[in-house]
Chains A and B, each alone.
Chain A
Amino acid sequence: MSKEITRRSFIKKSAAIGTTTILAGKALDKVLDTSVDAVAQGRVDVSVVEGSDYYRSTLKAVEELGGVTRFIPKGSKVAILPNAQRNNPGSYTSPEVVRGVIKLCKDAEADAIDIITLQPLQNWESMDYTDMFNREGVGLKIVDRRDESLFKTVPISRGLALKEAQIMKELDNYDLFVNVPITKDHAGTKFTGTLKNMMGLNFSRNNRTFHKQNWDTDINAIKHLEQCVADLNLIVKPALNIVDATEFITTMGPFGPGELARPNKVIAGVDRVAIDAYCCTLWGLKPEEIYSLGFANKHGLGEIDPENVNIREISL
């Protein structure tokens, strides 16, 4: 079953995304060009697949976008960035979704496929990931989040709150990366999804500046965090976002434990703002109430109004 929700009308905005600063290699430029072409051709912007087999849902979500080769050119070196909190239910990306992403990279005949992360090995072991990585033959590249020498400073000329980030150097070894967050609650900002997962590429001490030292005394701390998240997204651009919205916490995020929602959905697309705007509605939030989405929209990073996005929803 499939349904088209609306047609979008923001070709200009998306074209602007393709011209902003790109961190990774040349292949990423091609990917962004491709997405703009896709808009012009009236393809699906965001695909949503509901089903209990998360692996199949992941494959189907990308198929509905036009197929993985639109996003991952043959021979690319691909990094995958899941969200790997500890193993509290609904707080980390499902291994089955990540397994689906690995299959997609293989289908695209990627030259290298690795998981990149700042999270320690014990997190991955506790979530039953490591055996799957071994079976699938992909690498797990853990960057020590406390070693500043493993990160490079990247200026953010258009940043309003964040003027520079410190992005893991490991990312330079890849042509592109696929962002694979889980959407969930966040006790600081009420919501986390594709945009906030980019903090998983940034040096932890730099991330700490997003969260101001004194929530008690700095009256604007919440908006500061949200603006930093939007600013960071100006310099890191996933080739593709695949969001786990199968089972996630709607309270006490991002770590949990918390109350669980189970929409059993996998969402895919290029436009991070449009995806997050869709995801937050899964547990009753409104996109306009999530500051990071508004700030990212103002940066030209994507469309915040779901009415302007071509969303295709499918049940398996």
Chain B
Amino acid sequence: MKISSSCRIAVIAVLLSALSILLSSCSDTQEESNGILSYIPEEDEVAGWNPVDEPQVYVGEDLFLLINGGAEIYHEYGFKQVVFQEFESAGGKSINMELFQMEDPASAYGIYTFKTGENGTEMDIGGGLMLEEYYLNFWKNDLLVTLIGFDSEKETIDGLHALARGIADRITEDAEKPALFKMLPSEDLKTSGIKYLHGNLALYNNYEFDSADIFRFRECILGKYGDHRLLIFKYSGDDDTAGIFKNAGDIIRESGNFSEFKVIDDNTFSAKDKNSELAIFRINEKYILTYIGSNIDQAQSVFSGIIDR
């Protein structure tokens, strides 16, 4: 088959533009990766701790190569890329750094709250830092930093602190917590128990309404108090919040996870969960408020307080 010269030129032009797009996207990825590398402290920058071996960068779906099976939760929160770097002390101790770049500061804050426990020590570094037995997490701007020691000895814990400060100093931009955070009543709130959720996987790991995504949300905040928990689901103007609320009620009414389903009024229903705790659900415009506890009067008071604000 003969190909005309004009056709050949067109094919070459298409190939050249495809190549140019490919090179440009590689260059973008490279620039992004180089950007993330700039947060790693260099040799002799953090006293006593130096990087060893080359940093490893994993972008997008390649996170599965690093985390193998645990990557979904990062993707649910909006994962962009991660850099892995090992540090060693003069005394032979090791600390691993995982620095995750998320799609925005809210995502970084969310995965930070997901990864941190309730029994650690909070410190004022970045947007928040939690030191636990042998590791710490902190977030700053759109980044989550996880530093992992391999024991709880003083040299290791001091190293975690020093590296956290060194990395935080290199991240020049700050960001506020998401606005939804401010809707949680502050009285008796356990700050270490707050979880900012971006999807059903994170919700399922914190409270099982159902294994299916019955709330269809992209933003929820969970607060823990002395004797109850509170979840606030927030929807956008495009979401059919009333439809989601009704559908969730229908599923909970039929669910094996709940019993004693009751409609309290047009905007509120309740049920008992598997642990005999009372779950009360209230829709208010673009929000679904959920109380898990034991006292219906307390729930109504908490809901009123939030709605008034």
Taking a contact as CB atoms under 8 Å apart, the answer to whether A255 and B76 are in contact is: no
Taking a contact as CB atoms under 8 Å apart, the answer to whether B69 and A199 are in contact is: yes
Q: Is B133 interfacial (CB-CB < 8 Å)?
A: yes
Of all chain A residues, which has the CB nearest B198? A216
Q: Which one of B66, B69, B71, B146 contacts A257 once the chains associate, using CB atoms below 8 Å?
A: B146
Least CB distance, B75 to chain A, in whole angstroms? 7
Taking a contact as CB atoms under 8 Å apart, the answer to whether A255 and B68 are in contact is: yes
Q: Is A27 interfacial (CB-CB < 8 Å)?
A: no
Q: How large is the interface on A (under 10, 10 to 19, 20 to 34, 35 or more residues)?
A: 35 or more
Q: Is A67 interfacial (CB-CB < 8 Å)?
A: no
Which of B186-229 touch A at CB < 8 Å? 199-201, 204-205, 208, 211-214, 216, 218
> Whole-angstrom distance between the alpha carbons of A188 and B76 in the complex?
11
Q: Is A41 interfacial (CB-CB < 8 Å)?
A: no
When A187-B73, A255-B70 are in contact, do A208 and B211 touch as well, CB less than 8 Å?
no
> Whole-angstrom distance between the alpha carbons of A56 and B77 in the complex?
43
When A186-B69, A254-B69, A259-B132 are in contact, do A219 and B205 touch as well, CB less than 8 Å?
no
Taking a contact as CB atoms under 8 Å apart, the answer to whether A215 and B117 are in contact is: no
Q: Is A204 interfacial (CB-CB < 8 Å)?
A: yes
Interface centre among B70, B71, B73, B96, by most chain A C-beta atoms within 10 angstroms, is: B70
Taking a contact as CB atoms under 8 Å apart, the answer to whether B72 and A215 are in contact is: yes
Q: Is B67 interfacial (CB-CB < 8 Å)?
A: yes
Task: List chain A residues, Cβ under 8 A from B117.
Answer: 251, 258-259
Residues of B within 8 A of A (CB-CB), count: 34
Q: Is B115 interfacial (CB-CB < 8 Å)?
A: yes
Least CB distance, A186 to chain B, in whole angstroms? 7
State the majority secondary structure of interface residues on A. loop
> Whole-angstrom distance between the alpha carbons of A215 and B198 in the complex?
10
Task: List chain B residues, Cβ under 8 A from A119.
Answer: 68
> Whole-angstrom distance between the alpha carbons of A215 and B73 in the complex?
9
> Whole-angstrom distance between the alpha carbons of A253 and B201 in the complex?
13
When A187-B70, A215-B199, A259-B117 are in contact, do A291 and B211 touch as well, CB less than 8 Å?
yes
- A-B CB pair tally, cutoff 8 Å: 89
Chain B window 54-71, contacts with chain A (Cβ cutoff 8 Å), 1 for yes, 0 for no: 000000000010111111
> Whole-angstrom distance between the alpha carbons of A187 and B72 in the complex?
8
When A219-B212, A255-B70 are in contact, do A188 and B201 touch as well, CB less than 8 Å?
yes
When A188-B69, A211-B72, A257-B146 are in contact, do A219 and B135 touch as well, CB less than 8 Å?
no
Taking a contact as CB atoms under 8 Å apart, the answer to whether B72 and A89 are in contact is: no
Q: Is B134 interfacial (CB-CB < 8 Å)?
A: yes
Q: Is A143 interfacial (CB-CB < 8 Å)?
A: no
Taking a contact as CB atoms under 8 Å apart, the answer to whether B64 and A208 are in contact is: yes
Taking a contact as CB atoms under 8 Å apart, the answer to whether A223 and B69 are in contact is: no
Taking a contact as CB atoms under 8 Å apart, the answer to whether A215 and B211 are in contact is: no
Taking a contact as CB atoms under 8 Å apart, the answer to whether A187 and B212 are in contact is: no
Task: List chain B residues, Cβ under 8 A from A196.
Answer: 69
When A187-B70, A208-B64 are in contact, do A257 and B200 touch as well, CB less than 8 Å?
no
What are 26 A-B contacts with C-beta separation under 8 Å?
A86-B66, A86-B96, A87-B150, A88-B96, A89-B150, A186-B70, A187-B73, A188-B69, A192-B69, A208-B64, A211-B69, A215-B75, A215-B76, A215-B199, A219-B200, A219-B213, A222-B204, A223-B211, A223-B212, A251-B117, A254-B70, A255-B69, A257-B134, A257-B135, A257-B148, A259-B133
- Residue numbers of B with Cβ under 8 A of A are 64, 66-73, 75-76, 96, 115, 117, 119, 132-135, 146, 148, 150, 199-201, 204-205, 208, 211-214, 216, 218
